[in-house]
Amino acid sequence: MNKHIRIISVSALALLGILCIASGVMYSSLQSNNVEEKILVVVEQKQVSTDADVNIKLKNLTIEVNTPLSVKIIDYLDSAVSDEVLANLKLDTSSVNVTEPGTYNYTITYKEKIYQGIITVKEPEITNTGLQSITLKTVNVSIGTALSTDISTYVIEPLTDEIKSAMLIDLSNVNVNKAGNYQYTITYNNSIYTGTIVVTESQPTLSTNIDTNANANQNNQENINQNGQQEQTTTTNPTETTPTN
């Protein structure tokens, strides 16, 4: 009886040990899996842009005469760039003359690479003012007289300040120091009109002394005639005499 009990007890203890060992192995396995999950890291490769990836395109701009040029580089770009690239761009518009119509080049430099764009400067467009054409006068001036710079002096139609500002007059062919007929032009609404300026010799003024002397002579003659008539009347009348006793 006692021997039996001992065998059962030993078996139970052995079984308990086996269970403990198995539990330890399972716990260890679970711990190992958890550690692996914690150290799993995904690393993505960072994309670094190179100069070859930078694509800079410039705009071709059109502005009117006397329009100030923008100093913002972004206003000249026709493609999007990063802030880093934008900070390294250099703008050069020194060859653009905004006071003269024409086509000019401007440049933007990025890391010693130069990009070129075009800026076109043009005359302001003429708005519809209701005056489609004009008629020029033939202007007469005396030799040595300065020419008027008021365009209204040369145009028959009434002009507003807005219309006059859209006109360009050319008097360069007129010589006011020499008598003759000269051509002048006015450009308006994309048309050139030609008129004539006549430079004449100054006319001498007549002296008024001639009329004064003539009048004086006429008055003297009338006085002489009147005096002659009075003398004649006096001589023809007989004097009366008193009879003597």
- DSSP, collapsed to helix, strand or coil, labels residue 68 as coil
Integer-rounded Cα Rg, in Å, for the chain is 57
* Section 12-28 average pLDDT: 61
List the chain domain ranges: 53-122, 138-200
Check for a shared fold between 53-122 and 138-200: yes
Per CATH, domain 138-200 is 2.60.40:
yes
Tens-digit pLDDT profile for residues 47-87: 445 566 788 999 999 999 999 999 999 999 999 999 999 99
Per CATH, domain 53-122 is 2.60.40.10:
yes
Which is more confidently placed, 118 or 238?
Answer: 118
Q: How far apart are CA 235 and CA 82, in angstroms?
A: 130
* pLDDT band at residue 134 under the 50/70/90 scheme: very high
Against a cut of 0.75, is the pTM above it?
Answer: no
- Helix boundaries (H) for the chain: 2-38, 83-87, 161-165, 209-236
What are the b/e assignments for 65-96, b being 16+ CB within 10 Å?
eeeebeeeeeebbeeebeeebeeebebebeeb
